[in-house]
Amino acid sequence: MEHTPPPFFKRGPAPLVRLFFFASLSVALLVLDARFRYAENLRSVLALIAYPIQRAATLPFELAERVSGYFTLQSRLLEENERLRAQNLELAQDAQRFEAEKAEAAQLRRLIGAGEAVSVRSMPAEILYASRDPYSNKVFIDRGTREGVQPGSPVADDAGIVGQVTRVHALTSEVTLLTDPDQAIPVQVVRNGLRAVAFGGGAAGTLELRFMAANAEIQNGDHLVTSGIDGVYPAGIPVATVMRIERDAERSFARVVCKPAAGVDRGRFLLILSNESKAPPRPAEAEPAKERRGDKSRRRAKDAKGDGSR
Amino acid sequence: MGPDSPQHILMPVRLSTIALSFAVALLLNFLPWPDLKYTPDFVALVLCFWCVRQPRLVGLGVAWALGLLTDAGNGVLLGQHALAYSLLAFLAIWLSRRILWFGPLQQAFHVAPLLLASQAMILLVRLAAGSPFPGWSLVVGPLIGAALWPPLTWLLLIPQRRLEREQVL
């Protein structure tokens, strides 16, 4: 095979022994990661090692885009400029109105003694690539702890909520899309304020409202927005549109299938939103007897918040 | 080197070739493919190739490290690909002497079950972790990967062949 003499004596342990060694190592890691989530540091280091390769993989596409951008037709540019100017005017008007409304709303809130409304900051990000995992729906974006991304932050595009940041590495972050089977988001029907929770999974690229009573007041074409009661997603951002409602007499729940408003599986630029002010502090525990229970529920609430309202 | 090419004696492989091929395979895996269901796992394929051709240079350790890197890059359970790639490397090394007796096309038929076995390993891990079964399209990726085996063999053996010709001249 090679020009060296066959090294009969330095082949190390038998392949089967090695397989057992590496397999048990993998299983140990799997258990540590799945059950206890101890392996996050190792994961961050590995993600950092993989980063140059990921960057290199997206490079040709960026290059092609830049080249095609250079050769764009003058007429198309003019046309686009025109359209953007019109849009800008429209948005500027909206923004002015929004400012006025916001001031008024804040004043009214002060009058009735409600807490300050949550202000939302956003940070643009670009999708690097989608996860190869057929069991989940995740994408990776080019912002990480270096830019101050917080795990749990909602991610949106220009049309609505896309998903939630679930892991943050040094230079990249992992975003779990709304269509992931493990993802859930509290929503509200715009028309009548009916609250529900939308889950991912089901058919490809759709959301599903679970545990909706069969006689719930919901129609095809209803718009769903975030309700904001979980403290993770800011209120009032579009999430989905109801596509189909199946009411089965045998079941007590209706099956409501919705189509995400945002381009969950297309588009390349996203916004990472972050809630500036936190939820109001929980009432202090007075009696020591109740303390344990209160402690537990607080911890659960915190878990739910960090875990993506799962 | 193998009995499949009696007229050519290949030059020893350079480590840089192996490293480069793995880097390119990782890069291909991270490309933003339009439909990930039907894209083969290039890392698994290249790993299988080197385990068959160079079982003494590329073995379970390399497979495990590559698996961990893939896991972290894809944000899946750490150890899932590591386990699958270790199994793949073991099977490839175990069958390497047999596989090399065949031509490229028959080799592809040997490689298909190996890739399917590693995919099945991932499926087992995910089912154990509580994910639902994602459908039979899982099988397509490995089969396409196996179909890519003959061109891959030709491509990855180029450096060794060209060196030999230069030496003869």
CA distance B76 to chain A (A): 7
A22 neighbourhood in chain B, CB within 8 Å: 60-61, 63-64, 82-83, 86
Specify the pTM.
0.74
Lowest mean pLDDT among A1-15, A214-228, A248-262, B105-119: A1-15
Average pLDDT, chain A: 79
Q: Judge whether B69 is closer than 8 Å to chain A, CB to CB.
A: yes
In this predicted structure, what is the pLDDT of residue A118?
59
Give the pLDDT confidence of A265-278 residue by residue, as tens digits: 677 788 898 865 55
Task: Look at A3 and A162; give whichever has higher pLDDT.
Answer: A162
Give the pLDDT confidence of B88-123 residue by residue, as tens digits: 999 999 898 899 899 889 999 999 999 999 999 999
In this predicted structure, what is the pLDDT of residue A157?
86
In this predicted structure, what is the pLDDT of residue A308?
42
pLDDT > 70 in chain A, percent: 81
Give the pLDDT confidence of B126-147 residue by residue, as tens digits: 888 887 787 788 889 899 999 9
Instruction: Give the mean pLDDT of B64-90.
Output: 90
Lowest mean pLDDT among A1-10, A256-265, B29-38: A1-10
Confidence band of B83 (pLDDT split at 50, 70, 90): very high
3-state secondary structure chain A: CCCCCCCCCCCCCCHHHHHHHHHHHHHHHHHHHHHHCCCHHHHHHHHHHHHHHHHHHHHHHHHHHHHHHHCCCHHHHHHHHHHHHHHHHHHHHHHHHHHHHHHHHHHHHHHHCCCCCCCEEEEEEEEEEECCCCCCCEEEECCCHHHCCCCCCEEECCCCEEEEEEEECCCCEEEEECCCCCCEEEEEECCCCCEEEEECCCCCCCEEEEEEECCCCCCCCCEEEECCCCCCCCCCCEEEEEEEEECCCCCCEEEEEEEECCCCCCCCEEEEEEECCCCCCCCCCCCHHHHHHHHHHHHHHHHHHHHCCC
In this predicted structure, what is the pLDDT of residue B108?
93
- Chain B segment 79-108 residues within 8 A of A by beta carbon are 79-80, 82-83, 86-87, 90, 93-94
A129 neighbourhood in chain B, CB within 8 Å: 30-32
B132 neighbourhood in chain A, CB within 8 Å: 135, 181, 201
In this predicted structure, what is the pLDDT of residue A302?
45
